[in-house]
Structure 1
């Protein structure tokens, strides 16, 4: 007689349980682009909890009152690793006055560094940034007569991402462009927390639509919705 298969782990938790993994001084990686695809409920929870001295890794710093930009604007980050900060003037001001350390990485290079971290590589080789300020302090390698920069892989204590739909095991479907960088970020965190607009039972998602498999996900939180307040502070 065959034994019945074990039930898959239910990873759905409350916001408070998820936030227990995020403390002062941790390295936090986030998905999304310009605020779209950032997990709003988790970000607001981080602010409400009073977490500070974060190292943030993601594509950009959002807008002053949108997405990850809220954390930056409220001075909860001590360092950011991003491709640009142009949409958040607060980030630029903090960088100029020396209260925020900023490491810039070209957008494609940044994405590949995150992907490398997620798959266990130590880094990548790229010719982007050669003979520019980008190469300062970085190792150079010559292969077949061509020079490359060594860009180290990026990982985080916690990754936070936003999905359109998730099942209780953490299989994920994204909303069009909100998918931007989320699948890569999901792989690169020691703990990955997903905020989902809709949570369903295992088996209810079309396998052909699943982008991130649940093996990369540790916790799933129900989203409370997005606050698109386009006010500049």
Structure 2
């Protein structure tokens, strides 16, 4: 099912958490993975781990809050991948929480840049090449709070709601050319990034039927499935990986 031999994948936010798990799994399945992130040391560590396991990977540093850096990432990824990216995983995101009245304008701009603009620019740069070859897969990582309101998460949730709409719009735009665009919607997931939530993560997870936080590998498995040939007739879907929160 997950044979990625000869394929290349770009994964943003791939130096930790869900992104690192996804990059590792795609490489284990045979893909040449372009690992992207802001931290050079973590990027090199991720690439080294993949190579030590027999996979192929390269690191490209990128600041997704800067449009020129995003464009450079796309160009450099294409260069390292021999001119073609077959899989794009828009995983990187920032998630400041807090009351609306205390949200700074700079926070709004940063979240919009990383969570919406960067995926938009990457799809604009890479999806046409996939379409010209008649094959490709894109997965956007959203969140369960893109689908319902939660106090303190207006900015984060709305940015990911926009990404869910973009997922469907891009599926309609690029699907006829053989490019599948889907999303995964994680619930409370234990990663380096959510460690700062402390007991709040467990309390949020307690609202789900599973009753516990998920693991980064749970979400990565869903991403690998959606980019695989086993999902070849799935377009514009938002797959919940949220411990069943969608059911309540």
TM-score category, normalised to shorter length: 0.3 to 0.5
Structure ranking higher on relative contact order (CA contacts 8 Å, 6+ apart)? 1
Larger radius of gyration: 1
Q: TM-score, normalized by length of structure 1? A: 0.38
- Point out the structure with the larger strand share: 1
Q: TM-score, normalized by length of structure 2? A: 0.36
